[in-house]
Amino acid sequence: MTQGLSSVDPKELGERLRRARTRADVTQEQAAQIIGLSRPTLVAIEKGQRRPQPEELVALAAAYNVGVAELLRRTAVHVDFVPRFRASLRGKDGAKLEAAARLNDLTAAEVELENLVGPMRRSPLPPERPLMSGDVRDQAEDAAMELRMRHGLGYAPIQDIVSLLEQEFGIRVFLDKLDYGVSGLYAYDSQIGPCILFNSEHPPTRRAMTGAHELGHFIGTRNQPDIVYEGEPEDPREEVYANAFAAAFLMPAQAVRRMYQEYQEVSGKFTPRHLILMAHRWNVSEEAMCLRLEGLKLLKRGTWHSLKDRKFGGDLVREVIGEQKSRELVPPRLWLLAAEAFEKELLTEGQLARLLRVDRVRLREIADSYGVEGENGLDALDAD
C-alpha cells in the first residue's frame, strides 16, 4: 500500500478523503480523533499539505466506509450529491440520506465504467424552463405539452418511463431497492448531467409518476436536488409544479378529456370500471387518473376519497383488466456498460461487484440478462 500511497498526488488524495468524510457525515474533529491527530493536521491532510501514513489511511477509510483501493486509484470519479441533499433536508433522515448515497455510488460507477469502456451516445438534454411568477400548475401544463411535442410523443401514453428518460432525454437512470417510503431521487451536475434513482420495489404505475415528477424538477428547477418521499406535504411551489407536470406529461389533458367523453357518450355515465380502463390505458394508478380527472373538473373534487371509502380497488381492478405481472427492471445503460467491461476483461467479477455495491450472485443474474455469454454463447447478430 505504501507504493500506492506515494503514487497518488497528495492534493488529489486529500480531496478524495474530504469527499468521503463529507458523504459519511463525519466532522473534521471526529476524523482527527479517529486517527489520534489534531484537527489542524487533518485539515492539512485534506488540503494535500501532509500525506497520511498507511495506518491513518486505513483507519479513515474504515470510518468513512470506503475501500483503501478506491482512495488510491490513479483516477477517480468525483460525484458529490450527498452534501447537496443533506443541505436541503430538514434535520437528518437516515432513509433519505442512504438513498442519496446510493445515487452517488451508482452515478460514480456509471461514469467510471464509461471511462473504461467508452462513453455511450446520449440524446441532447431538453431545455430548462425556470419557474416564473403566477400559477405554476398552468406553467407545468404548458411545459409538459411542449416537451411531448418537441420529442414527437404527441398525445400517446408513455409505455416505459425508464427507457424514455434515458434514451430520449439523456438522463442517467438507476433502479435499486430503497426504503419503501422513498419513491425516487433527482440530482443534476453540470459535468455529469441529470440523474434519477427509482425505487425498484415500487409498482410500474408508481415509478411512472415518480419519473415524470423528477422530470418536472429537471425541466423547472434543474439545479435543485429532490427526493420524492411518501406522505410529505406539497407546500413548496417546486413540488406543486413537479406534481402538476407529472400529471400533465403522463395524462395529456386533451386526450384524457376525449377518452372521458367517449365513455360518457357510449354509456351515458362514467363508472369506476371506466376509471380502471383509463388508468390502464395511460399506465398510471387509478388514484392518479381519478385525481387528474378531478383536476380537469371532469369529476367532482373528493371523488377519489369517496371511492376509497367504498373499498374501491383490488378485486374490481382484477376483474376489469385481469392480473397484471410486472417484470423486474434494471438500469439499462449502467448494466450494459458493466457487461461490456466484464466481457473485455477490463474489470473482474469481484471488482464489478465492489464498484456497483452488489453481491456476486446478483451481479451474475443481471449480467446474464445483458448477454454476458461464456464460450457457448450465441453469435452476434451483426449484419455482414
pLDDT, tens digit, 9 for 90 and up, residues 152-180: 999 999 989 988 999 899 999 999 889 98
pLDDT of residue 379: 38
pLDDT of residue 83: 79
CB within 8 Å of 91: residues ≥ 6 apart? none
Joined together, the cell numbers standing for residue 198 give: 427509482
- Return the minimum-mean-pLDDT range out of 123-127, 210-214, 218-222, 246-250: 123-127
Joined together, the cell numbers standing for residue 180 give: 419503501
Grid look-up 407529472 returns: 246
CB within 8 Å of 368: residues ≥ 6 apart? none
Q: Is the pLDDT of residue 287 over 80?
A: yes
Q: How confident is the model at residue 233 (pLDDT cuts 50, 70, 90)?
A: low
Could you tell me which residue, 33 or 317, shows the higher pLDDT?
33
Q: What is the mean pLDDT of the chain?
A: 83
Q: How confident is the model at residue 375 (pLDDT cuts 50, 70, 90)?
A: very low
Decide: helix, strand or coil at residue 119: coil
Q: How confident is the model at residue 90 (pLDDT cuts 50, 70, 90)?
A: low
Residues 61-87 have a mean pLDDT of: 76
Buried b (16+ CB within 10 A) or exposed e, 33-47: eebebeeebbbbbbe
In angstroms, the first-to-last Cα distance of the chain is: 49
Q: Any bridge partners for residue 194, and if so which?
A: 188
Q: Is the pLDDT of residue 370 over 60?
A: no
Domain-by-domain residue ranges, the chain?
Answer: 1-76, 80-250+327-384, 253-312
Q: How confident is the model at residue 353 (pLDDT cuts 50, 70, 90)?
A: confident
Q: How far apart are CA 202 and CA 205, in angstroms?
A: 8
Grid look-up 420495489 returns: 201
Question: To which H or E segment does residue 380 belong?
Answer: none
Integer-rounded Cα radius of gyration of the chain: 24
Q: Any bridge partners for residue 125, and if so which?
A: none
Q: How far apart are CA 351 and CA 160, in angstroms?
A: 31
Residues 318-330 have a mean pLDDT of: 54
Fold adopted by 1-76:
434 Repressor (Amino-terminal Domain) (1.10.260)
Kindly report, residue by residue over 111-147, the tens digit of the pLDDT.
Answer: 888 877 776 777 889 999 999 999 999 999 999 999 9
Q: Is the pLDDT of residue 324 over 60?
A: no
29-43, 107-121, 305-319: range with highest mean pLDDT: 29-43
Residues 359-365 have a mean pLDDT of: 78
Q: How confident is the model at residue 18 (pLDDT cuts 50, 70, 90)?
A: confident
The 8 Å CB, 24+ separation contacts for 299-302 are: 299/270
In 3D space, the residue among 218, 182, 216 whose CA is nearest the CA of residue 197 turns out to be 182
In 3D space, the residue among 305, 317, 302, 315 whose CA is nearest the CA of residue 272 turns out to be 317
Phi, psi angle pair for 60, to nearest 5°: -70, -40
In 3D space, the residue among 196, 247, 197, 244 whose CA is nearest the CA of residue 220 turns out to be 244
Q: How confident is the model at residue 232 (pLDDT cuts 50, 70, 90)?
A: low
2-6, 28-32, 262-266, 306-310: range with highest mean pLDDT: 28-32
pLDDT of residue 190: 87
- List Cα–Cα distances, 84 to 47, 145, 216, 221, in angstroms: 21, 30, 19, 14
pLDDT of residue 382: 35
Helices (H), 92-159: 94-117, 136-150
Q: How confident is the model at residue 243 (pLDDT cuts 50, 70, 90)?
A: very high
Q: How far apart are CA 225 and CA 241, in angstroms?
A: 14
Fold adopted by 80-250+327-384:
Arc Repressor Mutant, subunit A (1.10.10)
Q: Is the pLDDT of residue 368 over 70?
A: no
Joined together, the cell numbers standing for residue 277 give: 380502463
Phi, psi angle pair for 160, to nearest 5°: -145, 95
Q: How confident is the model at residue 76 (pLDDT cuts 50, 70, 90)?
A: low
Question: To which H or E segment does residue 227 belong?
Answer: strand 226-229
Phi, psi angle pair for 235, to nearest 5°: -60, -50
Phi, psi angle pair for 273, to nearest 5°: -65, -40
Percent of the chain with pLDDT over 90: 39
Grid look-up 453469435 returns: 379
